[in-house]
Amino acid sequence: MEWTRDQTTLVIDLYRSHPALWDATCTDYKNKIQKADAWRDISAAMGVERAEVERKMRTVLAQFRRELKKIKDSKSDDGAVDVYKTSWFAFDSLSFLNNTTTPHETDEAELQ
């Protein structure tokens, strides 16, 4: 299936409305039944098979992580003046994931 920008934006919005799929702090995050129900809801709303919706979101999430890495790498260059600015249309729609895709800092006290 060829996805339009509007369809991609819609699937992102629907994905966002189901925190069990992406928010590790959500009580249903580890609940496979809740996740299956969420994917079924998104699939029904889109009128697309569940496998296709999941495949699209995997692709979108991978691209989001690549864009975040480009930004991070451009900031870490010594004396870098130009920070990478993404032009990918879906980047801002996925900003709700910013805190979920960055590894959490480990407090040294936790290790002892």
Q: What pLDDT score was predicted for residue 103?
A: 46
112 occurs within a structural domain: no
84 occurs within a structural domain: yes
The answer to pTM > 0.85 is no
| Tally of structural domains, the chain | 1
pLDDT in tens, 38-82: 999 999 999 999 999 999 999 999 999 999 998 888 876 666 677
Q: What pLDDT score was predicted for residue 78?
A: 65
Angle (deg, nearest 10), helices 32-46 and 50-76 = 100
Q: What pLDDT score was predicted for residue 77?
A: 61
In 3D space, the residue among 55, 58, 60 whose CA is nearest the CA of residue 9 turns out to be: 60
Q: Is the pLDDT of residue 1 over 90?
A: no
Least confident range from 1-15, 43-57, 77-91: namely: 77-91
92 occurs within a structural domain: yes
- Local confidence band at 108 (pLDDT 50, 70, 90 cut-offs): very low
37 occurs within a structural domain: yes
* pLDDT above 70 as % of the chain: 83
> Cβ contacts of residue 51 below 8 Å, gap of 6+?
none
What is the helix (H) or strand (E) element at residue 2, kind and residue range? Answer: none
Q: Is the pLDDT of residue 102 over 60?
A: no
Task: Name the residue range of residue 23's domain.
Answer: 5-101
What is the pLDDT of the chain when averaged over all its residues? 87
